[in-house]
Amino acid sequence: MLFFTSTILYWQNLLTYNETKQIFINSLQFLVKNNKIKLYGYVIMPNHIHLLIEVLNPQTKTENVQHSLLSYTAHQFKKFLKENNDKELLKFEVNDSDRTYQFWERNPLSVELYSKEIAEQKLRYIHNNPRQEKWNLASSYGEYEFSYEEFYNNGTDKHKMLTHYLEYFG
């Protein structure tokens, strides 16, 4: 199991749009449906994401799955902004030889979780993120739509993509 986090370029609040959050959800659903990953927890914050995942194919490098996720969502973010907010798109212009726009910071963090206790610690961290004072995205548990917390609180998986973390640890 991995704790994975990635940040929007320059910590910009691109993920405040429901459409960009849905792009990210759709990408996770695709990876789960196609048996690329199991998803144990997630939160989509205004400028970063946190995931607890397991890459299912032992021959697939974790970095490849993560790259696919970030690359696909970046293309979709670009398409969304071109159609809906050209001025916002300009904030993501870069002068790189291999791209015109960049949406994710380079070098996302990926940490292997070797114990149930560490996985539970990361789940608590993800769970509490939307209620932190600096974000103020929710005042109570279950209120923030773009996280996994309803799944563990009452079994509701509105996006149909989660697996209980205890399945990983047997």
Per-residue pLDDT at 60: 87
162 vs 26: CA distance, rounded Å: 13
Per-residue pLDDT at 168: 96
pLDDT tens, the chain, 170 aa long: 999 999 999 999 999 999 999 999 999 999 999 999 999 999 999 999 999 999 999 888 889 999 999 999 999 999 999 999 989 999 999 988 888 999 999 999 999 999 999 999 999 999 889 988 888 888 776 778 899 888 988 888 989 999 999 999 98
CB 43 within 8 A of CB 126: yes
CB 21 within 8 A of CB 146: yes
Per-residue pLDDT at 141: 66
Could you tell me the domains of the chain? 2-169 (3.30.70.1290)
Q: Residue with structure tokens 């974000």?
A: 135
pTM, whole model, 2 decimals? Answer: 0.94
Per-residue pLDDT at 97: 85
